[in-house]
Amino acid sequence: MVSCTKCGNPNVIIKRKASGQALCKDCFIEGIEKKVIQTIKKEKFLEKGDKVLVALSGGKDSVVTLEILNTYRERRIIDLCAVTIDEGIAGYRHEGVEIAKAHAERLGIPHKVVSFKESFGIDLDEIMAHENHRGSCTYCGVFRRWIINRAAREFGASKIATGHNLDDETQAILMNYLEGNTENLAKIGPKTESNSELFTVKIKPLREIPEKEIGLYALAKGLDIHLAGCPYAQESFRMEISNILKELSKDHPTIMYSTLRGFDKIRPAIKEEFQSSFTFKNCERCGEPSSNRLCRACTFLEELGH
Ligand code: SF4
Ligand code: ZN
């Protein structure tokens, strides 16, 4: 019978193919937290006195991000706040918002819920009723970034933490590489910074943790998470890439780690060569930073006649 590689406990909850390790619940939880703390140190994500805004959807990634960053808050190294975005997706978003609220309340973290409707006068369900829409996820991504960036300034946050995990990062690397999108490739990394003061630095503390293990960590810690899938989620190129990576990982369990490690090594060269360096001005409509007359959010809103 397999027992925990670290402490010998016979109640093993995970066997890692990549390292051959078997771990019991306590050693697994400790291992994940250690790894995240290592990433935070290595990437210099946090400085004493930082106020970090967590983009908290209520899903496993953001809940675990909040939970682990809260250990820094408890030690009075950083301050935390959270924002949850209500896109206006009937039958789906409400539960996530309630779960997010409950976590923020449990930990005593200042939290606000901001809707597409109050920010843009239109919600995602209404957008999807338009004849010539661009696909749900395109609006979601752009509008969410707009809200999170503004919320960070309103909270006076010095960093924004997102729940991007190892799977998300390797999918992005492979996708953009296969599409030859060097400009997007140059944007991938542990931290996203910009030359506009109106943008807040974004950090990804879970970047080196596989998605599956984040789910298991949430389960092991008994954290309530929003599990439902978005009704608009459609077959996308990203999903195809995700399936390829999952399939490959079966026989090559370290493939995602090596993809990320290799990319991180060549990242400085990619950035140097391909990073676009436009200067930001303020969007004429909303005042948010933009490389054009109108930011992407306002361009979409004008298209929708809003
Ligand atoms: Fe938005 Fe749903 Fe697409 Fe996610 S899957 S980006 S929630 S529309
Ligand atoms: Zn704008």
Ligand 1 mutation target, pool 232, 235, 239, 242, most atoms within 8 A of CB: 232
Dihedral (CA of 172, 176, 181, 185) sign: positive
CATH number at residue 161: 3.40.50.620
Taking CA atoms only, the protein residue closest to ligand 1 atom 5 is 233
For the segment 106-122, the average pLDDT, to the nearest whole number, is 98
36 and 137 in a single domain? The answer is no
Q: Choose between 168 and 194: higher pLDDT.
A: 168
For the segment 201-216, the average pLDDT, to the nearest whole number, is 97
List residues bridging with 290 in a β-sheet. Answer: 281
Residue 277 has pLDDT above 80, yes or no: no
Taking CA atoms only, the protein residue closest to ligand 1 atom 3 is 137
Taking CA atoms only, the protein residue closest to ligand 1 atom 4 is 137
* Predicted pLDDT at 198: 83
Q: Which atom of ligand 1 is nearest to the CA of 230?
A: 2
Amino acid at 99: I
* Predicted pLDDT at 235: 81
230 and 277 in a single domain? The answer is yes
Range of the domain at 3: 1-42
288 and 246 in a single domain? The answer is yes
85 and 172 in a single domain? The answer is yes
Q: Which residues contact 94 (CB under 8 A, 6 or more apart)?
A: none
pLDDT class of 91 with cuts at 50, 70, 90:
very high
30 and 111 in a single domain? The answer is no
Gyration radius of the chain's alpha carbons: 20
140 and 237 in a single domain? The answer is yes
For the CA of 302, the nearest ligand = 2
27 and 60 in a single domain? The answer is no
For the CA of 229, the nearest ligand = 1
- Expressed in angstroms and rounded, the spacing between residue 233 Cα and the centre of ligand 1 is 6
- Span 126-179, pLDDT tens digits: 999 998 899 999 999 999 999 999 999 999 999 999 999 999 999 999 999 999
135 and 109 in a single domain? The answer is yes
Domain count for the chain: 2
Alpha carbons 243 and 157: distance in angstroms, whole number: 36
- Span 155-167, pLDDT tens digits: 999 999 999 999 9
* Predicted pLDDT at 280: 85
For the segment 63-77, the average pLDDT, to the nearest whole number, is 98
Q: Which atom of ligand 1 is nearest to the CA of 124?
A: 8
Question: Is the CB of residue 14 less than 8 Å from the CB of residue 22?
Answer: yes
- Span 232-249, pLDDT tens digits: 988 889 999 999 999 999
191 and 77 in a single domain? The answer is yes
List residues bridging with 192 in a β-sheet. Answer: 202
198 and 280 in a single domain? The answer is yes
**Residues framing ligand 1 (Cβ under 6 A):** 87, 136-137, 140, 230, 232-233
For the CA of 300, the nearest ligand = 2
117 and 18 in a single domain? The answer is no
Give how far Cα 266 sits from Cα of 30, 114, 188, 189, Å.
31, 38, 12, 11
* Predicted pLDDT at 164: 97
182 and 88 in a single domain? The answer is yes
Residue 100 has pLDDT above 90, yes or no: yes
* Predicted pLDDT at 9: 97
Closest CA to 94 of 139, 54, 125, 58: 58
